Amino acid sequence: MAYPSSPDASGGTGRRLPVGSRAVNYAAFAALAVTTWLGYQFLWGLLFIWWIAPSLRTGRAFLVAEVNRHEDAFLFWLIVILFAAFGVLMVGADAFPALGNYV
């Protein structure tokens, strides 16, 4: 399976991300870098939660390599649950820092 900007079987470049999407990616990268440097985890948590929607919509998840829901449903759902758990834990860690003493 070719990624959006990788060459496909016909030698073309496939579809490219629109310029607006590129700007959003650069802004997200900067925001993630700054909030991580400041010691906040909530933005990473929101990103994990954000990744759930396209995974459920397309039936594909990415961990180290692409996992297809129809080919490996068990691993696909484990990844989706992992993303949800990481998202909730990271948002919760910043929203309720006192709970860190009990976990």
Query: Alpha-carbon distance 78 to 99, whole Å?
Result: 25
Tell me, what's the pLDDT at 16?
67
Q: Is residue 35 part of a domain?
A: no
Q: Is residue 74 part of a domain?
A: yes
Tell me, what's the pLDDT at 21?
81
| Residue range of the domain that includes 95 | 40-101
Q: Is residue 69 part of a domain?
A: yes
Tell me, what's the pLDDT at 15?
62
Query: Alpha-carbon distance 26 to 22, whole Å?
Result: 6
Q: Average pLDDT by consecutive 10-residue portion of the chain (103 residues)?
A: 45 60 88 92 92 94 93 95 94 82 61
Tell me, what's the pLDDT at 58?
95
Task: Please tell me the pTM assigned to this model.
Answer: 0.70
DSSP 70: T
